[in-house]
Amino acid sequence: MKAFPDPNADSNADHHAVALSWLSVLHNQPTIADQARFSRWLHADPAHSEAYAQAQVLWELSEEPATTLAGEDAAALDALLRKMDTPTARKLPHGGAALAMAACLVLMVSVAMGLNPQRWADDLGADYVSAPGQVRTFILEDGSQVTMDADSAIDVHFDDGERHVELRRGAAFFQVTHTGEPFVVDGGRGETRVLGTQFEVRLQPAGAQVTVLSGRVGVKAAADAPQQILTAGQQARYDRERTGAPQSVDSESQLAWRQGWLNYARTPLADVINDLNRYYPGRIILLNDQLAAKTVSGSFPSRDPQAVMAALKSVVGFQQYEAFGRVIVIR
């Protein structure tokens, strides 16, 4: 039996939800009766037409990335349910148009309603979290201070003569108190080990980036990998296989997000968008690979990601589409 959208929905959020429901119905062999119901709803209120037009635009723009994003969200949701010991039998349909349709709907519904299963899974096992757009500072039990970038999560374990912090999402800056016990930050399968220093660990798609403000740290791509020593003013990235060579950087500039600024020097647009996604209360989706590789330089206020997007658009040049007040598509 088909479940039809509620024709009496009257808030903006309801209009968007109903539009998404109609999009699903009309892409799933609608009957003549379905089409008649849709026509009545569409013409009942100009807001209905606007909501449905936004749903169509997002569908057309996001079909390919939605499949990837929905797959990631589905995997994250499954992991979350396993952590909660809740059995689940729901799966995305396999193959062709059904998968694409389900993927796009997962993307649009999650964005429109502010849902993010990956964030839920990260936060469930975290001791400290920061929301999108929020920078927070905590004092750990040993007196060390942690400043978390927006949309980040950490888990803390102090036992067996070592202090361990797992970076589950985002980035964190550490001011470590010297106690004689090793202080280790685990992130992206690698680790950063110190005795007393100030440094940042920032997760990357395949590992993490470490930036040192003062002192020395040892960085390893994996538990059994060789250690790379970084000193003040140096930065290195590691992936699943190795740690890259140290690079000299302006650490204060790199870490200015603590004061509300995002500073870039010939940084790929893709990395900038990844940062903005932690401050924007929805999702920003970059579809163009050539645009993603373009470099950006400048200093931008993190408190206003939409103003940053406007500045990037004027400098880099790209087409930007918005829908539901929560999603920006760049191509």
Phi, psi of 124 (to 5 degrees): -60, -35
Nearest alpha carbon to residue 316 among 274, 286, 275: 286
The whole-number pLDDT of residue 84 equals 46
Q: How many residues does the chain have?
A: 331
CATH 2.60.120.1440, applies to 126-254: yes
Residue 155 CB-half CA count within 13 A: 11
Q: How many other CB atoms sit within 10 Å of the CB of residue 83?
A: 12
User: Domain extents for the chain?
Assistant: 12-121, 126-254, 260-330
Mean pLDDT confidence for 49-61:
68
Fill in the DSSP letter of residue 243. Answer: B
Nearest alpha carbon to residue 323 among 104, 95, 51, 69: 51
Q: What is the pTM of this model?
A: 0.70
Tell me the C-alpha to C-alpha distance, in Å, between residue 271 and each of 70, 81, 107, 251: 21, 30, 21, 17
Tell me, what amino acid is at 57? V
Higher-confidence position of 318 and 262: 262
Mean pLDDT confidence for 14-42:
79
Nearest alpha carbon to residue 52 among 64, 39, 65: 39
d(CA 244, CA 224) in angstroms, rounded, equals 16
d(CA 119, CA 122) in angstroms, rounded, equals 5
Contact between residue 142 and residue 175 where contact means Cβ atoms under 8 Å apart: no
CATH topology classification for 260-330: Phage tail protein beta-alpha-beta fold (3.55.50)
pLDDT tens, residue by residue, 199-219? 999 998 888 999 999 999 999
